[in-house]
Amino acid sequence: NALKIAVIAGDGIGKEVMPEGLRVLRAAAERFGLDITFDEFPFSSWDYYEQHGRMLPVDWKDQIGGHDAIYFGAVGWPEKIADHVSLWGSLLLFRREFDQYVNLRPVRLMPGVPSPLAGRKPGDIDFYVVRENTEGEYSSIGGRMFEGTEREVVVQETVMSRVGVDRILRFAFELARRTPKKHLTSATKSNGIAITMPYWDERVEAMAKHYPDVKWDKYHIDILTAHFVLNPQRFNVVVASNLFGDILSDLGPACTGTIGIAPSGNINPAGDFPSLFEPVHGSAPDIAGQGIANPVGQIWAGAMMLDHLGHAQAAAAIVRAIEEVLAQKPLRTRDLGGLADTETCGAAIADAVARS
Amino acid sequence: NALKIAVIAGDGIGKEVMPEGLRVLRAAAERFGLDITFDEFPFSSWDYYEQHGRMLPVDWKDQIGGHDAIYFGAVGWPEKIADHVSLWGSLLLFRREFDQYVNLRPVRLMPGVPSPLAGRKPGDIDFYVVRENTEGEYSSIGGRMFEGTEREVVVQETVMSRVGVDRILRFAFELARRTPKKHLTSATKSNGIAITMPYWDERVEAMAKHYPDVKWDKYHIDILTAHFVLNPQRFNVVVASNLFGDILSDLGPACTGTIGIAPSGNINPAGDFPSLFEPVHGSAPDIAGQGIANPVGQIWAGAMMLDHLGHAQAAAAIVRAIEEVLAQKPLRTRDLGGLADTETCGAAIADAVARS
Ligand SMILES: CC(C)[C@H](C(=O)O)[C@@H](O)C(=O)O
Ligand SMILES: CC(C)[C@H](C(=O)O)[C@@H](O)C(=O)O
């Protein structure tokens, strides 16, 4: 059972962290006897856009739709290309066209990475954000009227469907059921966003009936962000709409010291299209080209990918290697108070996997 | 120049912190020779609703619309009354009907209140959140279709008007101009919320041209919440849409140790209707009736009210009294590791004002 992975490095530091991700995956393949082929694609990047006038080739679905998964770096370069072209023309398009309706983001305080929260130790912060990834606040419906005048008005729809809400809730409750704590938190704002969010709450309540073994609660998004900072130990599985999940999955990793190490799985649970694994961080044009980017988010995303593809043992070995390397100052990158450049850190993790 | 204040204590701990707010305002009036009349109103509460079957009397606008300001406690009791009745039938209605389009929320780390952020001292966190308070994501437009079926779909509009966006930005830039740092941050999410938020960005850029002396930057809301935790010293005036401002003004105070002390001004800058001052915290039914609620948010809101009404000296004296009392463990409430109950804390602040 050979695996075929589509590799898209993208823009900025995506091009620098991807080689480290691949290095570690190759080490894991070697160590655990996995047969993995990596097909690299140049599209979904500013370079490709400059040459071809578009983010993707016409037949992009044929080119990558048959792979077992997509290993993705980062895309976007606001100074060169508008976000609605680069992001909506690639990453956000993949999420939707490949129906990757789950965005799964582990939030874990790692050894060697100091938390900005006073007194928090590894073990204190360890949960998942489960983000709806295809609908909600990220709609493409809306527009402007009376443009350029004093009465100009701009509207945009939030769209929640029963199918879309129920399937993400089901995924989150199933995940919660498999965790030792069996606890789920729903992010809402039904007191202020008074049409869509009460619907979300209703569906959570209905879904919870099918999971009597899962304890659950809900918080409005405003106070929920406060609890992330004040009581992060309270969370286990946090399920949220597209926008709320986006916010919580940057805030959560920030509470663990950096978003530079956080991974993200854009998952199509049905498996009719490939899932996509990427770091949570973006292309970071400001530090691109210096070889200093932290490769851990990319590498951890590789572990999530292997786990998703049924290779739990190899995935766990990568996560352990990450923990081992992060604990050592000479091997951490500078954003974490370490001394290493991107390559040194990546090579150290690959080495730890090989020795595992 | 006598001042007439409409007082609405509301629900839950609103009823417990309001007397302390009034105690301190009376002490300030005495100390600074202000002539203030307080008219207390029973509506906008569960009790009133239980008796009258509505949140407000028919002539509520006549009853409170002529006052110089509204001093508000907290409203809402989800177990007894639905939020869309209690909140949209009072607090959110006041904001909109009295065109209180600015929600101004200071975020400041106070002496004696430990920050959950490691190593942060008073002075490190000191900024304003300026929240749009009447439109945006808090619309009342939308609805459901195919109700109760598998194809059920729920939509809600976000609505931004040129008038609505420009006036909140103008307020924020004017405020930034008056601060020593002359710096403004705009909260956006134009990469994901691709119709309304790019419009917000455009208006920020246009407004900034009128304020060449104000330095400004923008962050997407996801990474902005991360920076609140990682780099709070970076912020001075943060301007945000209704929803984003709601989130940031709970997260900001959480970074200063508690939302229990944070005040909020719902301001109508034109002055054609009264402005409303309230604590950021809600009615907290879980701790109501025990006399342990922290009254500082309510008291600080009173200081903001006096400042708004032109009594800067009295306002400053209250803030100094708050700082003095918070620094003393026996006078702080228990949520801040102190020993005091609501009344002891309030009386201590009133006493410090009288001695000032
Ligand atoms: C109670 C709720 C509707 C309100 C809001 O979201 O505006 C509150 O959170 C606030 O910040 O004043
Ligand atoms: C780049 C942006 C559109 C994207 C999102 O908001 O989904 C990113 O922040 C993420 O979290 O993957």
β-strands A102-108, A3-10 pairing: unpaired
Rounded to 5 degrees, φ, ψ at B221 are -60, -30
Rounding to the nearest 10 degrees, give the CA dihedral for residues A224, A225, A230, A235: 60
User: To 10 degrees, the CA torsion angle through A248, A250, A255, A261?
Assistant: 140
Provide the percentage of residues in chain A whose pLDDT is more than 70: 100
What are the φ and ψ backbone dihedral angles of B251, each rounded to 5 degrees? -65, -45
Check residue A264 and give its pLDDT: 97
pLDDT digits (tens, 9 = 90+) for B189-239: 999 999 999 999 999 999 999 999 999 999 999 999 999 999 999 999 999
**Domain boundary at A205, A225, A255, which?**
A255
Q: What is the pLDDT of residues B71-104, one digit of tens each?
A: 999 999 999 999 999 999 999 999 999 999 999 9
Same domain, B179 and B199: yes
Task: Output the pLDDT for position B6.
Answer: 98
Q: Above 90 in pLDDT, residue A1?
A: no
User: A182 and A157 in one domain?
Assistant: yes
A185 and A77 part of one domain: no
What is the radius of gyration, based on Cα positions, of chain A? 20
Nearest to A158 among B88, B158, B255 (CB): B158
DSSP B219: E
C-alpha to C-alpha distance for B250 and A299, rounded to whole angstroms: 34
In 3D, which of A317, A12, A220 has the Cα closest to residue B284?
A: A220
Question: What does the alpha-carbon distance between residue A111 and residue A113 come to, in Å, rounded to a whole number?
Answer: 6
Model's pTM, two decimal places? Answer: 0.97
When scoring A87, A125, A162 by the number of chain B Cβ atoms within 10 A, the one with the most, hence best to mutate, is A162
User: In ligand 1, which atom is closest to the CA atom of B87?
Assistant: 3
Both tokens of A94, joined, read 């993949």
- How far the first Cα of chain B sits from its last, in Å, is 23
Classify residue B86 as exposed, middle or buried by CB count within 10 Å of its CB (0-12, 13-18, 19+): buried
Which residues touch B206 (CB under 8 Å, ≥6 apart)?
none
What's the start-to-end Cα distance of chain A, in Å? Answer: 23
Arithmetic mean of pLDDT, A216-220: 98
**Residue A112 placed within a domain:** no
**Cα B263 to Cα A232: distance, rounded to the nearest angstrom:** 24
For residue A155, give its domain range: 126-255
CA-to-CA distance for B22 and B199, rounded, in angstroms? 42
B45, B75 Cβ separation under 8 angstroms: yes
Q: How many CB atoms lie within 10 A of CB A210?
A: 11
Determine the pLDDT at residue A239: 99
Mean pLDDT of A333-343: 95
Cβ distance B154 to A196 less than 8 Å, yes or no, reads yes
CB contact under 8 A, B195 and A156: yes
The H or E element that residue B73 is part of is strand B69-74
- Say whether both B138 and B95 belong to one domain: no
pLDDT at residue A182 above 90? yes
Whether A118 is in a domain gets the answer: no
Mutating to test ligand 2, I would choose from A84, A91, A130, A250 the residue with most ligand atoms within 8 A of its C-beta, which is A91
Tell me whether residue B181 is in a domain: yes
Residue A60's pLDDT band, with cuts at 50, 70 and 90, is: very high
Closest ligand 2 atom, residue A95 Cα:
7
| B247 and B293 housed in the same domain | no
CB within 8 Å: A143 and B195: yes
Whether A212 and A276 map to the same domain: the answer is: no
| A157 beta partners | B157
Residues lining ligand 1, Cβ inside 6 A: A 191-192, 222; B 87, 92, 246, 282
Ligand 2 within 6 A of CB of B222 = yes
Share of chain B above pLDDT 90, in %: 99
Q: What kind and span of H or E run contains A31?
A: helix A14-32
Rounded (to 5) percent helix, strand, coil in chain A: 40, 20, 35
- pLDDT, mean of residues A292-306: 98
In a domain, residue B136? The reply is: yes
- Residue ending a domain, choose from A210, A237, A255: A255
Q: A253 to chain B: nearest residue by CA? A: B226
Could you tell me if A261 and A113 are in contact, meaning their C-beta atoms sit under 8 angstroms apart? yes
Query: CA dihedral defined by A52, A53, A55, A61, rounded to 10 degrees?
Result: -60
Residue A138's contacts (CB-CB under 8 Å, 6 or more residues apart) are A92, A242, A243, B192, B193, B194
Same domain, A199 and A279: no
> What is the C-alpha separation between B109 and B252, in angstroms, rounded?
10
The verdict on A272 and A234 lying in the same domain is no
Measured between alpha carbons, how far is A194 from A245 in angstroms, rounded to an integer?
18
For A250, the token pair is 């940057």
Distance from CA of A87 to the nearest CA of B (A): 7
Q: How do residues A186-205 score in pLDDT, each as one tens digit?
A: 999 999 999 999 999 999 99
Per-residue tokens: A52: 């071809």
B178-188: pLDDT as tens digits: 999 999 999 99
What's the pLDDT band for A147 if we cut at 50, 70, 90?
very high
Sheet containing A102-108, strands listed edge to edge, beginning at the edge strand earlier in sequence: A36-41, A3-10, A69-74, A275-279, A263-267, A102-108, A126-132, A237-240, A183-188, A215-220
Which amino acid makes up residue B317? A
Clarify whether residues A176 and A250 are in a common domain: yes
CB nearest A152 (choices: B137, B161, B259): B161
Q: Are A195 and A274 within one domain?
A: no
Same domain, A251 and A275: no
Q: Are B28 and B318 in contact (CB under 8 A)?
A: yes
Query: In this structure, are B235 and B133 located in the same domain?
Result: yes
Q: What is the total count of domains within chain B?
A: 2
- What CATH number is associated with residue A310? 3.40.718.10
For residue A230, what are its two tokens?
């004040």
| pLDDT band at B1; cut points 50, 70, 90 | confident
For residue A251, list chain B residues with Cβ-Cβ distance below 8 A.
222, 225-226, 229, 251
> H helices of chain B, where?
14-32, 46-52, 60-64, 83-86, 91-97, 162-178, 196-208, 221-230, 242-255, 296-308, 312-326, 342-355
